[in-house]
Amino acid sequence: MSESRLYIPKEEYLDRIKRVQKRMQGEDIDILLTHACECESANVRYLSGFWAVFDFVGVLIPREGNAILLTGGPESYDFAVEFSNIDDVRIHPLYVETCAPEWDKPTNPYDFKMILDELREKFPIRKVAIANSNTMPHKIFEDLRKGVGNAEIVEADDLIIKERVFKSPQEIKLLREAYRITEEAMKQTIEYMRPGMREWELEAKWRSVAYTMGAEGTSYPIWVTSGDKTYQSLCQSSERVIGENEMVQLTFGAKYNGYCGNMCRPVIIGKIPKEHEKLISVSLECLNETLEIMKPGVSFAEVYDKFQARLQKNGFFGVNLYGPAHSTGLQECEEPWVDNRGDWVLAPNMVFNVDIWLSDGVYGVRYEDGVIVTESGLDILTNYGRELLYLQK
């Protein structure tokens, strides 16, 4: 574990809000509201460092002045005051968990009309934008609509995302630590693995190592799959006993102070069907080729098209879900995605997961490694086991 825990300083959070306000002014937006829950916390955490537990949380940014953090109930209020880098914390009575109690402790609640009336004394409110529009509960949206009066409500889901594309030096330090923890826990889990173990035992081993090294949690609900379940892109660890002559897919990621590491490896035990071994081999070829191609100045389209050409050459065209890489940071998967549908170009301080997932409906495999685009090339964050990895029984 590092000698001292790494953090984003408060000054960087305040600077992020100012940069968002500059974007708002450029798009003539008076108020921006973003929303978070425990599983979708990235935008609010990017702006405040605070993450939701049980209750919802939102950040309201005026086009000028200080941001306001909204959450529900006295518990979340105390939590936010302690951990948020936004000083103005308020209780909104609708930002509570599904089965919230009737609070005995007095609260000082604000609805949106109260907050927006306060801001209207400083400037007119004509346009209100929402980020995370697909996760905002209906009741909260309806209260916002009542509060805005005659102002226009628009979606602005990409406004904050655009600020998150390029990572700061401190963000990169946190990401390096997240990947370091992820990789070391992966290594120890593979060394621990034996036939006869259940899938959840391997997950538990990885968690034990990762938490001991300083992970705050996982980047997503991690899992182990084996045998006839490896064709599934998303899954969960089960009671299934790992046997001889099969592949085990390890899908792990450590979260460190909000930032996500990730690493995926297939492990072969004994002999597996030739069709599956070929799928794994082609996936590894795609991974290595993508790592070789990705450099500053290279277009996303070039990386994607070469990935598709390799799949077609090997008879696996159409067995992928998406391109060979995606950005990562406060979410394990975040924009931009590497494909040929836009005009993105790789540039320094972008951070990606090179994510090769192939499935023919019977067999599946995923290799995944983290990389930082630098001025001169690519800094690969995870290297362990990047080959056809056979378990030594």
CA pair distance 56, 202, nearest whole angstrom: 32
What is the pLDDT, as a whole number, of residue 253?
Answer: 98
pLDDT tens for residues 18-62?
Answer: 999 999 999 999 999 999 998 899 999 999 999 989 999 999 999
Percentage of the chain exceeding pLDDT 90: 93
Res 52: pLDDT = 87
Would you place residue 245 in the very low, low, confident or very high pLDDT band (cuts 50, 70, 90)?
very high
Res 2 pLDDT > 70? no
Mean pLDDT of 212-228: 96
CATH topology of domain 169-380: Creatine Amidinohydrolase (3.90.230)
Residue type, 30: D
Q: Does pLDDT of 210 surpass 90?
A: yes
Q: What is the pLDDT of residue 112?
A: 98
Average pLDDT over residues 250-263: 98
Q: Which of 63-67, 218-222, 291-295, 389-393 has the lowest mean pLDDT?
A: 389-393
Give the CA-trace dihedral at 116, 118, 119, 122, to 10 degrees.
150
pLDDT at 183 (0 to 100):
98
Confidence (pLDDT) at 106: 74
pLDDT in tens, 190-207: 999 999 999 999 999 999
pLDDT digits (tens, 9 = 90+) for 283-310: 999 999 999 999 999 999 999 999 999 9
Same fold, 10-164 and 169-380: no
| CA atoms within a 13 Å half-sphere pointing along the CA-CB vector of 248 | 32
Q: Across the chain, what does the average pLDDT equal?
A: 96
Residue 328 clears pLDDT 90, i.e. is over it: yes
CATH code of the domain occupying 10-164 = 3.40.350.10
Cα 65 to Cα 16, 48, 123, 161, 303: the distances in Å are 13, 15, 11, 21, 42
Q: Which pLDDT band holds residue 1 (cuts at 50, 70, 90)?
A: very low
51-100 pLDDT, tens digit each: 989 999 999 999 999 999 999 999 999 999 999 999 999 999 999 998 88
Strand partners, 334: 327
**Whether 286 contacts 338, CB under 8 Å:** no
For residue 231, count other CB atoms closer than 10 A to its CB: 19
**pTM across the whole model:** 0.95
Residue ranges per domain, the chain?
10-164, 169-380
On the question of pLDDT at 391 being above 90, the answer is no
Q: How far is CA 321 from CA 310, 362, 385, in A?
A: 15, 15, 24
pLDDT at res. 3: 62
pLDDT band at 393 (very low <50, low <70, confident <90, very high): low
Q: What is the DSSP letter of 348?
A: T
